[in-house]
A and B are shown apart, each in its own frame.
Chain A
Amino acid sequence: MAVLKIQRLSKRFGDRVVIDALNLEVEAGSIYGFIGQNGAGKTTTMRMIVGLLAADNGTIYVNGEKVTYGANQTNQYIGYLPDVPEFYHYMTATEYLQLCASITGMTQKSATKRIISLLTLVGLEQNKQRIRGYSRGMKQRLGIAQALLNKPKLLICDEPTSALDPVGRKEILDILQAVKKETTILFSTHILADVERICDKVGMIHNGKLVLEGTIEEIKAQNPACDFEIEFSDEQTCQSFIDLFGKGNRIGHENLQLRYKNQTSESYEQALRICVEHHLLPQRFQWMEPTLEKLFIEVIQKNETIHRI
């Protein structure tokens, strides 16, 4: 069942089309990576889902209920973590979560229990200082705690790792991975390594349209061309291989490494065969799977070309 369903969603700011007839579905229990360049329309889409921005056209359903701008009925199913979560700096984390709990209508008893467990989950349970003294990472973790407070069916995280150092990024990703059992996550980012690490499904938005969608394996399978690298110990062997297989890019310190781009599995096998048949012993032979980053750049370049035509 789809927790989030977006149908032909459109939004423009003045003359600029930000979202263009976007269709998207997020299945329950998954982590959906919503990727795209800065300004691609990720935040705009998310703000429309939580009812903070009015759509020009199209409909959004959260847990089967239609989202209406200004009304926040569907927000009972959503936990939202903005890109830069802001809090009342004069409060402590516990006080802030108590305020949020009162707003969501939780009872005092259940709120206290939930707040303790969430602060433990995000590693702020021992922290008694006011939010004024929090680092960026601590604020993001508190943001996740507030977003999870009402046990949402859908957790929306808008670039939660963008401004964090590697340690902070890892902490946030670990938390998201841990809460996957409880909730569906829509996670926007432009850090593709984060998507590869935790997401089940990926949707790539470009110029307001979804240009690529699927599991990471499916997306990689759609683009089977890979690179491979081969390294030899001496120049003579290296040159013999080039004569037999073809010219590749010379890389590395001594120019004894060769990189062949966009190769099929047949050419990979052929390279191996040449090495065996002609006794050209490589020091290293590496088949390089296409990274999401490479696919991302290729898709964007392809779409830019189509756009220009």
Chain B
Amino acid sequence: MKQFIAFSQKEWLGQVRSGQLVIILLIFLLFGVMNPAMTKLTPWLMEQFSQSLADSGIIIGDMRVDAVMSWQQFYKNVPMALIIFTLFSGNMFSSEYEKGTFVNLVTKGMKRWKIVLAKFVHILILCTVCYWLMFFTTFAYNSYFWGVIETVNVYHPGVLSYVFGVFVLALLLCFSVISKTSTTSLTFLGGSIIICYVLGLIPPVVEYLPTQLLSGEQIIGGTMDISAYLKSLCVALVVISGSVIGTIFIFNRKQL
């Protein structure tokens, strides 16, 4: 446990002193503010452009916005936030491989599986804080502008998107251990997500794909029910566990 804590402290220290932690928290805070702000500003923007739109033959009627629209905007922004997060974390192993900083620690007796777990727990905590910061910022502004929504449970799709984020991080962890550069690990990750979307074209497979967890927009809109995502949720959890275990196995045999 002492090794795990010491290595985790090192991870946080590096992120704090490089300024990365503040930057990523600010980005996610900005995303959280942006969702209700953009929704709130939409009628005003439409009004500003109404004359030019009317000249083109498009008539804008009386536009009403609400919290549901803001939440839909939130789920549209989740993939973008996730991409930014993976760009920040893509070099978690490659930078240490490149510099050779693992050598001193491993030859001092650091257990390799603790390095993998400490790295994963670190990005998991960071991702959790960032995601829920974004979520609750949106939630707070939505409540302030439009009051609490009684009809839809906003937490369910929120949890599903969060699990999808953890699924992406687990894959990123695995690809980072295999790859020598962050570009390669991010390419592998992007490739995996594309494969998931391609598999989504086969109807019997769709309900098992973790990418389905990003359909929070539809749950909020009332077109889908949470129970429809149970299979993809289970697959995502299995992949997360498998990726972490597989990463430990690979890293134990990795030449440093």
Contacts and interface: CB of A to CB of B under 8 A. Distances in A.
Q: Answer whether A and B are interacting partners.
A: yes
Interface in B32-82: none
Nearest to B114: A103
A88 interface: yes
A103 B6 contact: yes
Contacts, number: 79
Contact of A88 (B5, B14, B112): B14
Interface string B87-102: 0000000000001110
Interface residues of B, number: 28
* Chain B interface mostly: helix
A86 B104 contact: yes
B2 A105 contact: yes
Interface stretch (B187-195, B206-214, B219-227, B248-256): B248-256
Assign chain A's interface to a size class: 20 to 34
B99 A86 contact: yes
A18 to B, nearest CB: 14
Interface string A51-78: 1110000000000000000101001101
A52 B100 contact: no
A85 B106 contact: no
Contact of A84 (B100, B105, B252, B256): B100
Interface in B110-149: 110-112
30 contacts: A52-B103, A52-B107, A52-B256, A72-B107, A72-B109, A75-B106, A75-B107, A75-B109, A80-B103, A82-B100, A82-B104, A84-B100, A86-B103, A88-B13, A88-B14, A90-B13, A95-B13, A99-B7, A99-B9, A99-B10, A100-B104, A100-B105, A102-B2, A102-B3, A103-B3, A103-B6, A103-B7, A104-B109, A105-B2, A150-B108
B253 A146 contact: no
A99 B2 CA distance: 10
A105 B109 CA distance: 9
A50 B3 CA distance: 19
- Scoring A50, A51, A72, A78 by chain B CB atoms within 10 A of each residue's CB, the highest score goes to A72
Contact of B255 (A53, A99, A149): A53
A102 B10 CA distance: 11
Contact of B101 (A75, A76, A88, A103): A88
Nearest to A143: B104
A255 B158 CA distance: 92
Given A72-B109, A103-B108, A88 B10 contact: yes
Interface string B236-253: 000000000000000011
Nearest to A70: B252
A149 B105 CA distance: 12
B101 A87 contact: yes
B5 A85 contact: no
A90 B17 contact: yes
Contacts of A91: 10, 13
Given A72-B109, A102-B6, A87 B14 contact: no
A110 B54 CA distance: 79
Nearest to B98: A86
A85 B104 contact: yes
Given A87-B101, A103-B105, 12 more contacts: A52-B256, A72-B110, A78-B107, A80-B103, A80-B107, A95-B13, A99-B9, A103-B7, A103-B108, A103-B110, A104-B108, A150-B108
